[in-house]
Structure 1
Amino acid sequence: MSIAVNDHANHIAPIPRISVQGFLDSADVAQMIENAAKDRRMAKAHVKVHIGGIPAAIEAYRTSPTPNLIVLESSSDRGVLFEQLEQLAECCDAGTKVMVIGHENDIGLYRDLIARGVSDYVVAPLNIIGFIRQVSALYNNASGEMLGRVIAVAGAKGGVGASTVSHNLAWSISRQLLLQTVLVDLDLAFGTVGLDFNQDPPQGIVDAVYSPDRIDANFIDRLSSKCSDTLSILSAPATVDRSYDLSEHAFDTTLDVLRATVPCSVLDVPHQWNGWTRRLLVSADEVVIVASPDLTNLRNAKTLFDALRASRLNDHSPRLILNMVGVPRRPEISLGEFSKAVAVEPLGVIPFEPRLFGAAANNGQMLAEVDANSKIIETIDDIAQLLMGRSVGRRAKRTLLAPLMERLGRMKAG
């Protein structure tokens, strides 16, 4: 089985809530920016595209305020370009950034433009991801890469163990990679993160959702409960004394703070489909769908994969983890058939091991605390590394499938 590794090119900090106006010479560049505006990383930006290049921008801003970012395309020679930029500078408001897309790959031209106050100069042709990265770099850190990675884990069907997988992945990332990790339980009425970590936090994620004006790094830290030096949890209330009818953007501010302050956030997304769960899955850096090998899971997984691929056009496919594989006497869809239907190979296969999982759940422990030598722990550790963009060796390729092979071997022997 081939092992897909993270595409670092797609790990780009989201663009903040800014206004962007483009004045382009060519239809190709205009279309590229319009397509980029539909990307999840630019969901907060307000983008308008015009044809006409720098002369059109000069005319437009003689009587109108300038946006946060002006994107200009020019094929003119240097003398004309510099003259046009000087005219535009007379119309620009303080704080407006200017990106020039040119057709001359010349470091001297770049330096001259930067000296004249241009924020960035890039050479066409430019693809969607390249453009988004350049805009991100203007409003985030120098590289445009975010500090924190958000991993959203959801089940294709209720009861497939997505919460257990997400909790153990967060544990593995914090323990194995020694990265500060926050596990967020979003199953607000019935979440199990408190039970799985044997904690009863007085506050959690709902306190953040209902206090959006107070959310900052310190507030999130106060709401979190520490499970170790590197792992904290934002628990769900797990009560039904209120209904949780949340807006589509309910978790936006919380995730923005987590991205900016924590290397890894793992979201335990409940098996439901509404505005805010869809937004979380679309906006996450990594999406993991957990499924069991039966027909309902296959149908639901394919539905989710198709919907998420359509909404995440510039990202790799969501990841698949098959869980509870090899239940005795249960007819199952084969690994090959399941993979073919959703058009992706599983990132890992976790066999049905009721004693290990049952002991962990009843004791409020992670799987590694119950049996550190289990092959399943190796599988989860390897998946955690892949989700965080770390390469793994041949051992990983063996361990991702080894538990399944051992299970099937024992079944055949019996």
Structure 2
Amino acid sequence: MSNLAYDPADDAEETLLADLAAMRSLRPIPRVSIQAFCETESVAGPIERAGEDRRMAKAHVKVHMGGIPTAIEFYQSAPTPNLIVLESRSEPKELMQHLAALSEHCDPSTKVVVVGYYNDVGLYRELIRSGISEYVIAPVSMADIVSVISSIFIDPEAEPLGRSVAFIGAKGGVGSSTMAHNAAWAMSSLFKSEVVVADLDLAFGTANINFDQDPAQGMAEAVFSPERIDEVYLDRLLAQCAEHLSLLAAPSTLDRIYDFEPEAFSQVIETAQRSAPMLVLDVPHMWSGWSKHTLTKADEIVITATPELANLRNTKNLVDMLKRLRPNDAPPKLVLNQVGVQKRPEISVQDFAEPLGITPMAVVPFDPLLFGNAANNGRMLGEMDAKSPVVAIINEIAHVLTGRTEMKGRRKAGLGSLIEKLKRNRK
């Protein structure tokens, strides 16, 4: 007899991971109204969770219990939305009769998706012929719902949006911008893929210094002239840093106050995503309406922290908040930076990660010579010393963020020897 006990939580976790993987490539749903009429909680639940997903932020979703008869009664005195989702356990003949009755109250432009329980090709063809947009067999997942809605409202011929990765520091001075810029450079140079870096710290941004650029225009012109933003205008604002790397630089001046509405950067970000497969957002260490909105909408988030108590507290607060704001996304990635400073008391990697429930994506040892020389010369770490162990870590970050490799759990084991090697090199 096996000693292994079946744990339903394992299936739930596998389902969640499958959902996250399936939704990774889905694009945001446009501003549409959606109403669902469900007979069971097993269908209503995924639709409600889909409505809370960031990809559905512009859509308005309302779930009713009661199925098609309730929908018929409801639309006798109410206008129909852009999309109706109907769950029905009726047999095919009865289902078609219910849909015919509902059609008398539907606007011709309204799309209809049916969630049914009969895996019948003949039924599917009859439904499509009658004008139903899609027929989905129950049970359904959150990813199924978002995917079906996406297939209806997003033009499959349209150019796909690039992925956005937002870097933010748990505290000022932890090296978040340095990580963002070097990871972006690594992505562009390693994979020969177009990458755009957007410096959102308009007052104190360092991307122009780190990339040795002094563009006359950049992020300020974009964010203060939203009515002009399109791919052509954005291309004029971008500074070319490398063959496959462009920069939307911050002015880094204090000649005006940079107060923004929550969605101030949204149009710039969406336009940039149509211009390149990868958009790296350098988000300053602050908590405002627009920074919260930017992090909520990003495809991926990277938190950079150093191994001390204030960083741990701030990282924990960020992780918890982002989990509430992004319930259907994977947790943010964590980079522990400046690890191994001589004579500085530090929280161990394990003790730092344990309360967060996150394994660090990377642990970057303290190397002031390499980082200092790169910063002072306006060069990336890989340009200064391509064989450095730190550069190897940055390259691995680039692989993880572009989906070319999974996070490795063996980083911790080699950390001690790597730090010791760097210490010997500095002596």
Residue 200 of structure 1 and its aligned partner are, at CA, apart by 1.1
Residue 232 of structure 1 and its aligned partner are, at CA, apart by 0.9
1:88-99 matched pairs, under 5 angstroms: 88-99=102-113
Asked if the contact 1:153–1:267 (Cα under 8 Å) also holds between the matched residues in 2, the reply is: yes
Q: Which string of whole-angstrom CA distances, capped at 9 and with x for unpartnered residues, describes residues 80-132 of structure 1?
A: 22222233334333432211111223333223222222111112221223212
CA distance, structure 2, for counterparts of residue 392 and residue 21 of structure 1: 38
2:191 maps to a residue whose letter is: L
Is 1:8 aligned with 2:6? no
Alignment match, 1:341? 355
CA distance, structure 2, for counterparts of residue 303 and residue 144 of structure 1: 38
Asked if the contact 1:291–1:323 (Cα under 8 Å) also holds between the matched residues in 2, the reply is: yes
Structure 1 residue runs of 4 or more that deviate by more than 4 Å after TM superposition: 141-146, 396-404, 409-414
Task: Find the residue that maps to 1:34 and give its secondary structure.
Answer: helix
Unaligned runs of 5+ in 1: none
Alignment match, 1:154? 168
CA distance, structure 2, for counterparts of residue 65 and residue 329 of structure 1: 70
2:183 maps to a residue whose letter is: L
Q: Aligned to 1:36, which of 22, 27, 50?
A: 50
1:116-131 matched pairs, under 5 angstroms: 116-131=130-145
Alignment match, 1:378? 392
Alignment match, 1:303? 317
Is 1:84 aligned with 2:98? yes
CA distance, structure 2, for counterparts of residue 26 and residue 219 of structure 1: 49
1:136-147 matched pairs, under 5 angstroms: 136-142=150-156, 146-147=160-161
Q: Which string of whole-angstrom CA distances, capped at 9 and with x for unpartnered residues, describes residues 170-214 of structure 1?
A: 111111122211111011100011111111112212222222222
Q: Aligned to 2:234, which of 220, 225, 238?
A: 220
Cα distance change on mapping 1:254 and 1:327 into 2, 3 Å: same
1:100-111 matched pairs, under 5 angstroms: 100-111=114-125
CA distance, structure 2, for counterparts of residue 8 and residue 93 of structure 1: 35
Aligned residues: 408
CA distance, structure 2, for counterparts of residue 68 and residue 298 of structure 1: 45
Residue 65 of structure 1 and its aligned partner are, at CA, apart by 3.0
Q: Which string of whole-angstrom CA distances, capped at 9 and with x for unpartnered residues, describes residues 62-92 of structure 1?
A: 4443211111111111112222223333433
Out of 372-381 and 265-274, give the one that drifted further. 372-381
Residue 397 of structure 1 and its aligned partner are, at CA, apart by 6.3
CA distance, structure 2, for counterparts of residue 126 and residue 137 of structure 1: 16
CA distance, structure 2, for counterparts of residue 250 and residue 316 of structure 1: 25
CA distance, structure 2, for counterparts of residue 184 and residue 328 of structure 1: 34
Out of 263-272 and 82-91, give the one that drifted further. 82-91
Residue 32 of structure 1 and its aligned partner are, at CA, apart by 2.8
Cα distance change on mapping 1:94 and 1:225 into 2, 3 Å: farther
Task: Find the residue that maps to 1:37 and give its secondary structure.
Answer: helix
Cα distance change on mapping 1:206 and 1:324 into 2, 3 Å: same
2:391 maps to a residue whose letter is: I
Identity of aligned residues (%): 48
Out of 334-343 and 53-62, give the one that drifted further. 53-62
Cα distance change on mapping 1:200 and 1:248 into 2, 3 Å: same
Alignment match, 1:408? 420
CA distance, structure 1, for counterparts of residue 102 and residue 260 of structure 2: 44
Q: Aligned to 1:181, which of 173, 195, 199?
A: 195
Cα distance change on mapping 1:327 and 1:145 into 2, 3 Å: farther
Alignment match, 2:374? 360
Q: Which string of whole-angstrom CA distances, capped at 9 and with x for unpartnered residues, describes residues 118-162 of structure 1?
A: 111112221223212221222225599953111011000000000
1:175-324 matched pairs, under 5 angstroms: 175-324=189-338
Residue 322 of structure 1 and its aligned partner are, at CA, apart by 0.5
Higher RCO (C-alpha 8 Å, min separation 6): 1
Cα distance change on mapping 1:361 and 1:93 into 2, 3 Å: same
**TM-score, normalising length: structure 2:** 0.89
RMSD between aligned residues: 2.5
Asked if the contact 1:155–1:290 (Cα under 8 Å) also holds between the matched residues in 2, the reply is: yes
Unaligned runs of 5+ in 2: 1-16
Asked if the contact 1:322–1:346 (Cα under 8 Å) also holds between the matched residues in 2, the reply is: yes
Out of 69-78 and 210-219, give the one that drifted further. 210-219
Residue 168 of structure 1 and its aligned partner are, at CA, apart by 0.6
Residue 318 of structure 1 and its aligned partner are, at CA, apart by 0.8
Q: Which string of whole-angstrom CA distances, capped at 9 and with x for unpartnered residues, describes residues 362-394 of structure 1?
A: 11111111111111111111111111111269x
CA distance, structure 2, for counterparts of residue 144 and residue 120 of structure 1: 21
